Chain A
Amino acid sequence: MAIFLLVLVEIAERLETFVVERNLEARKEGLLTLRPCVIQLLGQTALLEAKVPLTLAATNDVDVYADYDFAIEQEFRRLLATKGRELDSLGAEVWMPTETAYQPLFVGHCVSLLVADAESILVSKGLKAARKNRPLLTEYLARGPSARFLKLAHKYRLDLEQFL
Chain B
Amino acid sequence: MSQKQLAELVQRARARYAKIERQRRDPRYRRVFGRFVAAGLLNSNDQTVPQRGAIRLADALWAGEVEPRILELLPALLIKKPSFFEERTTLPDDLAQVVRALRRGEVPAEFRGIPGADLARWLPRLGRSGAAPSRLRCFRFSAEESRLLSRLSGELKTTEVAVLRRALRELGAAVLDGRA
Contact = CB atoms under 8 A, between A and B. Distances in A.
Interface of A: 1-2, 4, 48, 55-60, 84, 86, 90, 129, 131-135, 138-139, 141-142, 144-145, 150, 154, 160, 163-164
B6 A163 contact: no
B40 A142 contact: no
B16 interface: yes
B17 A57 contact: no
A164 B12 contact: yes
Majority secondary structure of chain B interface residues (helix, strand, loop or mixed): helix
Contact of B9 (A2, A90, A139, A160): A160
Interface residues of B, number: 31
B13 A1 contact: no
B142 to A, nearest CB: 40
Contacts of A2: 45
Interface in B1-40: 1, 6, 9-10, 12-14, 16-17, 20, 24, 33, 40
Contacts, number: 83
A138 B118 CA distance: 22
Contacts of A58: 42-44, 69
A4 B44 CA distance: 11
A55 B41 CA distance: 17
14 contacts: A1-B43, A1-B44, A1-B45, A48-B45, A55-B24, A57-B43, A59-B41, A132-B113, A141-B9, A141-B13, A145-B6, A150-B6, A154-B1, A164-B9
